[in-house]
C-alpha cells in the first residue's frame, strides 16, 4: 500500500474525523464500488503477442458532510488471471508486447474536503485531478491502476467565474509504486462561462518533477487557453473545442526548449448520430516534444498508444494528428440491452518538424448498457506505420470489457 507523504497525513485526518462523522445526523455515508474485468490482446511487430485478463476492484467510502467537511477513502486492487504472457513493466516479460496491468493493491484516494462556503472549497490528500479534458492535468483511468495525485487544492467559484490552485506533491502513475514521481509543482486554472455557446479557460502549470526516476526533460511550464461550447443547428447541435499553449523548460529539466501546442475539434450530433473532425499539432525540436507528465496519454492520439508513454504524447520530431469519425446509438429503455453505441475514428499521423508520414490508425468500438449498472464494451485499435525510421512499430489491440459501478 502506498503510504508516502500525504497518505500519512490523510490517515491522521481520518482519525480526527471518526468521532464527528459517526455523530453526524445525516446519513452515515456513501459506499463506492467499481469493478472492471478486461481481456486485452496485443499484436506488435518485433514483440511476442500479449494476452492479459485482469479484474480491477475499487472499494471506498465517502462520509456524510459535517460542518462543511467530507472525508473519502478508496482502495484499489488489480488481479491478473491465467498466464502472464505480457509485459506489465514489472514482471520481467520484456519479450512480449506491453500491457501495463499487474497484481497490485494500493490506496487510490484518501482526501479531506472542506466547503468553507458556496464559493470556497479546499481538498487535501490523495485525490483525482482533471483540467482541460485531462490533456495536461488529469487522472486517467484507462489502465486498471488509475492515476491519482497527492496534492492540496483550493477552488473558488463566483457566478460565471471559477479559479483553482493546486500544490502538487506526487503523481501515482502505476502499476504500483515503481512508476510514481515526486513533484514540486504549482497548477493554476481560471475559467469563465460566457453563455451556453462559449466557455473560456486560462491556465499556467508549473511542473517540476523532482523524482530521480522521472525523465529529466519532462519538467515544464505550460501556459495557454481553451475555448469550448455548443451551438444549435436546427434539431442538431455543434460542439467545439480549441486549445492553444506554449511549453518551456522549467525546474529540474535538463533540456532547453520552447514548444507550441494546438488542438481543434468539432462534433455535429443529432438523432442518435454524430460526426467529428479534429486536428492536433504538438511541436518537436528533434530532441524534446510536448510533455504531459501529470496528464493522460491514452486516447488522445489513438487507442493503440503508438505515440504515448513516459509522460509524452509525441515523437521528438513532434506530431500532427488529423482525425475524423462518427458514432451512432440509441436507448431501448427495456430488455437486456438498455442502450447501445457503435463508433469509429480514423487518424493520419505526420511528424511536425520533418513532415514525414508516421502512419494511420483505425479505432472502433461497440458499447452496451445493461441492467443494474452493468456495461459491456468491445474495442479495437489498429495502427499501421509508414515505414519511416521515425514511425512506431505496427500494432493491433483488442479489448472486451465488463463493468459494474454503484
8 A C-beta contact, residue 360 and residue 349:
yes
Give pLDDT, residue 313.
84
Confidence of residue 4 (pLDDT cuts 50, 70, 90): very low
Residue 90 has pLDDT above 70, yes or no: yes
78-100 mean pLDDT: 91
387-391 mean pLDDT: 87
Q: Which residue has the higher pLDDT, 20 or 106?
A: 106
Residue 1 has pLDDT above 60, yes or no: no
Give pLDDT, residue 27.
55
Q: Which residue has the higher pLDDT, 230 or 20?
A: 230
For residue 297, what are the CA distances in angstroms to 135, 220, 383?
8, 16, 16
Q: Which residue has the higher pLDDT, 346 or 132?
A: 346
How does pLDDT run across 98-136, given as a tens digit for each residue? 999 999 999 999 999 999 999 999 999 999 999 998 999
Give pLDDT, residue 17.
31
Helix or strand run (H / E) with residue 210: none
Give Cα 134 distance to the centre of its chain: 5
C-alpha cell at 12: 491522521
- Structural domain boundaries of the chain? 6-318
Distance CA 106, CA 121 (A): 27
The proportion of the chain whose per-residue pLDDT surpasses 90, expressed as a percent, equals 80
- Mean per-residue pLDDT of the chain: 90
262-268 mean pLDDT: 98
Helix, strand, or coil (residue 80)? strand
8 A C-beta contact, residue 258 and residue 246:
yes
Residue 22 has pLDDT above 50, yes or no: no
Q: Which residue has the higher pLDDT, 5 or 86?
A: 86
The proportion of the chain whose per-residue pLDDT surpasses 70, expressed as a percent, equals 93
How does pLDDT run across 164-203, given as a tens digit for each residue? 999 999 999 877 777 899 999 999 999 999 998 999 999 9
> What pTM value is reported for the model?
0.89
Confidence of residue 215 (pLDDT cuts 50, 70, 90): confident
| CB atoms near residue 59 (< 10 Å) | 15
Residue 11 has pLDDT above 60, yes or no: no
8 A C-beta contact, residue 340 and residue 368:
yes
Residue 12 has pLDDT above 80, yes or no: no
Residue 6 has pLDDT above 60, yes or no: no
Distance CA 247, CA 401 (A): 36
Residue 10 has pLDDT above 70, yes or no: no
CATH of 6-318, one of 2.40.160.10, 3.30.540.10, 3.20.20.150, 3.30.379.10: 2.40.160.10
Amino acid at each position: 500500500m502506498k503510504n508516502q507523504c500525504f497518505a500519512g497525513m490523510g490517515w491522521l485526518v481520518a482519525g480526527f474525523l471518526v468521532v464527528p462523522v459517526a455523530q453526524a445526523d445525516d446519513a452515515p455515508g456513501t459506499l463506492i464500488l467499481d469493478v472492471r474485468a478486461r481481456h486485452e490482446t496485443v499484436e506488435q511487430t518485433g514483440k511476442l503477442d500479449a494476452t492479459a485478463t485482469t479484474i480491477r476492484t475499487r472499494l471506498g467510502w465517502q462520509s456524510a458532510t459535517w460542518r462543511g467537511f467530507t472525508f473519502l477513502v478508496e482502495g484499489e486492487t488489480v488481479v491478473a488471471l491465467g498466464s502472464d504472457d505480457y509485459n506489465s513493466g514489472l514482471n520481467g516479460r520484456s519479450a512480449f508486447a506491453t500491457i501495463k496491468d499487474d497484481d497490485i493493491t494500493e490506496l487510490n484516494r484518501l482526501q479531506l474536503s472542506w466547503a468553507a462556503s458556496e464559493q470556497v472549497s479546499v481538498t487535501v490528500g490523495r485525490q483525482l485531478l482533471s483540467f482541460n479534458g485531462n490533456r495536461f492535468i488529469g487522472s486517467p483511468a484507462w489502465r486498471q491502476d488509475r492515476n491519482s495525485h497527492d496534492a492540496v487544492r483550493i477552488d473558488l467559484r463566483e457566478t460565471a467565474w471559477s479559479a483553482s490552485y493546486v500544490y502538487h506533491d506526487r503523481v501515482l502513475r502505476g502499476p504500483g509504486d515503481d512508476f510514481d514521481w515526486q513533484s514540486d509543482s504549482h497548477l493554476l486554472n481560471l475559467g469563465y462561462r460566457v453563455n451556453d455557446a462559449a466557455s473560456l479557460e486560462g491556465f499556467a502549470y508549473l511542473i517540476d518533477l523532482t523524482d530521480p526516476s522521472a525523465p529529466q526533460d519532462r519538467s515544464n511550464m505550460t501556459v495557454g487557453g481553451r475555448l469550448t461550447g455548443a451551438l444549435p443547428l436546427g434539431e442538431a447541435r455543434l460542439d467545439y473545442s480549441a486549445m492553444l499553449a506554449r511549453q518551456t523548460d522549467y525546474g529540474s529539466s535538463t533540456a532547453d526548449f520552447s514548444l507550441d501546442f494546438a488542438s481543434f475539434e468539432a462534433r455535429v450530433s443529432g438523432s442518435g448520430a454524430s460526426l467529428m473532425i479534429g486536428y492536433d499539432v504538438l511541436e518537436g525540436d528533434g530532441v524534446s516534444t510536448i510533455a504531459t507528465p501529470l496528464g493522460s496519454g491514452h486516447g488522445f492520439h489513438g487507442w493503440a498508444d503508438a505515440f504515448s508513454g513516459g509522460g509524452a504524447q509525441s515523437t521528438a520530431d513532434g506530431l500532427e494528428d488529423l482525425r475524423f469519425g462518427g458514432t451512432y446509438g440509441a436507448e431501448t429503455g427495456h430488455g437486456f440491452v438498455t442502450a447501445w453505441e457503435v463508433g469509429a475514428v480514423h487518424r493520419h499521423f505526420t511528424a511536425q518538424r520533418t513532415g514525414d508520414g508516421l502512419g494511420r490508425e483505425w479505432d472502433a468500438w461497440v458499447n452496451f448498457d445493461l441492467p443494474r449498472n452493468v456495461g459491456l464494451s468491445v474495442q479495437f485499435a489498429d495502427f499501421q506505420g509508414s515505414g519511416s525510421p521515425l514511425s512506431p512499430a505496427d500494432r493491433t489491440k483488442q479489448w472486451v470489457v465488463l463493468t459494474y459501478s454503484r
